[in-house]
Amino acid sequence: MAKPKLELTWIGKDEEIKLEPRILIEDTEKSYGDPKSENMLIHGDNLLALKALEQDFTGKIKCVYIDPPYNTGNAFEHYDDSVEHSIWLSLMRARLILLRNLLRKDGFICCHIDDSEGPYLKVLMDEIFGRTNYLTTFYVQVRYPEKTLKQDMAFHKEIEQIHIYRKEYGANPNLNLADSSFDKFSFYIKEKKPGKRIVLGGKDVDVFLEGEYEIVESEGSENGLKEIWATGTILDGNSSGRFFRDNLSGRVATDGLGVLYKVYGIGDDKFSYRYFTGPKKANATKGKYFQGVPIAQLKDPDKKQSLPIENYYDLAADFGNCRQEGGVEFRSGKKPEKLLGVILKHFSNEGDWVIDSFVGSGSTSAVAHKMNRKWIGIELKDHAYTHCLLRMRNVIDGLDKAGISKDVSWNGGGGFKFYELALSLLRKDKYGNWVIDEKYNANMLAAAMCKHEGFKYFPDAEIYWKQGKSTETDYIFVTTSFMTVEQIDKMHEEMKPGESLLICAKAFAPECKDRFNNVTIKKIPQMILGKCEFGKDNYDLNIIKANDQAVDDVEDVE
Ligand SMILES: C[S@@+](CC[C@H](N)C(=O)[O-])C[C@H]1O[C@@H](n2cnc3c(N)ncnc32)[C@H](O)[C@@H]1O
């Protein structure tokens, strides 16, 4: 019997979605700024768009931030947010799997959500990314109760969550950095007489009874010691904690209260010993240890010190005031640039690819751009034009002075390309037969067939039948004309030894088949039928009509 696994199940979880690998068509009128820019703003459903990106971006994205509809049963001004629970889970699952494929091994995904689906999303992400790759959840204060205009609810929704996963073990976030200083190394221990030597846990230990030593607190220096309580996670977390737990925590009965232990051969500082103290009062169990300045810090005192990343952020004021950020008003779940700044600071570096497939008003793209990341933003609705386009133009022109602009001294520059998701390659004719959609011109058809067959569309400047390649010697040619034997013979003559060719033709002479070992000929559209779903454009999360309750009623915050 198969080993049962811990998982979340729902109606339709195992239904397979066979996505059509669409092409993306650049709308050069809408692309903006530096023509060499690789940044992409895509209008269309993100499931199809992520599939479209698969060929070029698998394993390339450093940071995913997504802020999907929360499925709260509320209708926002710009999108409906109420989807039956199972459908929401199915659609999120499909998108998360595609996003996972796009991530680099050292990449991260950060998924913003509220309480409605937060715990379900966590379990779903555990399954897709692996529980061991769960890093943390950021808890974000998004409003204060006294600033929320709506008072007719039983509970205030003050906190939202961001579940954060890495793609694989070894992906390390950028920790907080602080100037290293000796300030905390401010304790000095004076031994008034020699201690009594014992051996504990295989180490020499000098025991000083109360009155035989003195601990003085003064100004921090490279010779000072930092006081650390040996409790909680410390007891497992490092060698001093473990030494205390295993050898000193039960010594009161033997040594008495208020004892100092000098343990030899432990620690990463310049001292050959480390001091510990046991409990001072009856019934107390806790002790402390005294750590010197780590040798690494002594050797390079200017080196910044790494500090853990906080997992609570009070951004209520920023949430209240971000409506106009980027020069575009968007009341439906817009996130402040400051939040995206925190995410991108910790989970990406300059030059990395960042993607947001629910980009809304374009906050992630704007922040990624200002922080010198490369970005992809995907938006289903028309605010791809009315908001993202406008906002990114403002950013590039240096007109956007809001959000993080000041913090990063943003003055403009760069560019992006605007893409539309192509229509489905096939449509049904009046007899119910699948035919190539007439809106596909020859180049689009060739590019689409390349995607279907796993070739990179890369038309050769000289040899017309080399329209794409899967390796340096394996080519594809796509045509809607009738292929004759003479044409195949001519192509074969031009082929170099070791080269192979796949011809996708609407029709061909029967003798073309199996004419040459290194030339395969297949019929379109028959060769791709059944491989994926054609003619389906709606993979939208907004399936069920929501009730019309606005959620984002928050006063501006001073
Ligand atoms: C909460 S909003 C994101 C807001 C964004 N973080 C910001 O700061 O502006 C979610 C967005 O996802 C978009 N969306 C919903 N379903 C989508 C889909 N299937 N494909 C692409 N975008 C989608 C909605 O239109 C909406 O703009």
Q: Do you know the residue count of the chain?
A: 558
Query: For a pocket test of ligand 1, which of 46, 358, 382, 392 has the largest count of ligand atoms closer than 8 A to its C-beta?
Result: 358
Q: Which amino acid is at 394?
A: N
CA of 411 to the centre of ligand 1 (A): 27
DSSP string, 423-464: PPSEEE-TTS-EEE-TT--HHHHHHHHHHHHT-EE---SS-T
- Options 3.40.1350, 3.40.720, 1.20.1300, 1.10.760; which CATH number does 426-528 get? 3.40.1350
Q: Whose CA is nearest to atom 14 of ligand 1?
A: 358
Q: pLDDT tens, position by position, for the chain (558 residues)?
A: 677 888 899 888 888 889 999 999 999 999 999 999 999 999 999 999 999 999 999 999 999 999 998 877 654 444 444 457 888 899 899 999 999 999 999 999 999 999 989 999 999 999 999 999 999 999 999 999 887 767 778 888 899 999 999 999 999 999 999 888 899 999 999 999 999 999 999 999 999 999 999 999 999 999 999 999 998 888 887 899 999 999 998 898 899 999 999 999 998 899 999 999 998 887 777 899 999 999 988 998 888 888 999 999 999 999 999 988 999 999 879 999 999 999 999 999 999 999 999 999 999 999 999 999 999 999 999 999 999 999 999 999 999 999 999 999 999 999 999 999 999 999 999 999 999 999 999 999 999 999 999 999 999 999 999 999 999 999 999 999 999 999 999 999 999 999 999 999 999 999 999 999 999 999 999 999 999 999 998 887 653 333 333 344 445 444
Q: Which of 21, 45, 112 is nearest to 540 (CA)?
A: 45
CA of 334 to the centre of ligand 1 (A): 9
Which atom of ligand 1 is the closest one to the Cα of 540? 19
Strand order in the sheet with 225-230: 196-200, 203-208, 260-264, 273-277, 287-292, 225-230, 187-191, 213-217
Q: Which amino acid is at 231?
A: T
Q: What single DSSP character describes residue 220?
A: -
Which atom of ligand 1 is the closest one to the Cα of 362? 9
With respect to CATH, is domain 24-134+163-174+322-421 assigned 3.40.50.150?
yes
- Where in the chain are the domains? 24-134+163-174+322-421, 187-305, 426-528
CA of 380 to the centre of ligand 1 (A): 7
Q: Whose CA is nearest to atom 1 of ligand 1?
A: 333
Taking only Cα atoms into account, the Rg of the chain, rounded to an integer number of angstroms, comes to 31
Pairing of strands 434-436, 456-457: unpaired
Determine contact, residues 338/368, Cβ cutoff 8 Å. no
Tokens of 100: 């996972």
Omega within 30 of 0 (cis) for the link into 525: yes
CA of 264 to the centre of ligand 1 (A): 59
- Predicted local distance difference test score (pLDDT) of residue 545: 34
Strand order in the sheet with 519-523: 456-457, 468-469, 474-483, 500-508, 519-523
- Predicted local distance difference test score (pLDDT) of residue 156: 86
CA of 6 to the centre of ligand 1 (A): 30
Q: What single DSSP character describes residue 354?
A: E
Q: Whose CA is nearest to atom 19 of ligand 1?
A: 540
> In the structure, which protein residues have their CB atom closer than 6 angstroms to any atom of ligand 1?
45-46, 67, 69, 78-79, 330, 333-335, 358, 360-361, 363, 378-381, 540-542
User: From residue 521, how far is each of 248, 492, 503, 513 by CA, in Å?
Assistant: 78, 12, 5, 6
Which atom of ligand 1 is the closest one to the Cα of 333? 1
Q: Which of 138, 129, 75 is nearest to 102 (CA)?
A: 129
End-to-end CA distance of the chain: 62
| Residue 29 backbone dihedrals phi, psi, to 5 degrees | -65, -30
Kindly give the residue spans of alpha helices, DSSP state H, lying in 130-223.
none
Query: What are the residues whose beta carbons fall under 8 Å from the beta carbon of 473, sequence distance 6 or more?
Result: 496, 498, 499, 500
CA of 41 to the centre of ligand 1 (A): 13
CA of 15 to the centre of ligand 1 (A): 24
Query: For a pocket test of ligand 1, which of 22, 87, 380 has the largest count of ligand atoms closer than 8 A to its C-beta?
Result: 380
- Predicted local distance difference test score (pLDDT) of residue 557: 47
Query: For a pocket test of ligand 1, which of 17, 48, 66, 79 has the largest count of ligand atoms closer than 8 A to its C-beta?
Result: 79
- Predicted local distance difference test score (pLDDT) of residue 79: 46
Q: Whose CA is nearest to atom 4 of ligand 1?
A: 360
Determine contact, residues 208/191, Cβ cutoff 8 Å. yes
Q: Which amino acid is at 311?
A: N
Query: What are the residues whose beta carbons fall under 8 Å from the beta carbon of 289, sequence distance 6 or more?
Result: 228, 230, 240, 241, 244, 274, 275, 276, 277
Which residue reads 């390649």 in tokens? Answer: 469
3-state DSSP assignment of residue 395: helix
413, 417, 418, 420: CA torsion to nearest 10: -170
Determine contact, residues 512/523, Cβ cutoff 8 Å. no
Q: Which of 51, 66, 55 is nearest to 537 (CA)?
A: 51
**How many Cβ atoms are within 10 Å of 180's Cβ, its own excluded?**
18
Pairing of strands 426-428, 305-307: unpaired
3-state DSSP assignment of residue 103: strand
CA of 451 to the centre of ligand 1 (A): 26
Q: Which amino acid is at 7?
A: E
Give the burial class of 102: count Cβ atoms within 10 A of its Cβ; 0-12 exposed, 13-18 middle, 19 or more buried. buried
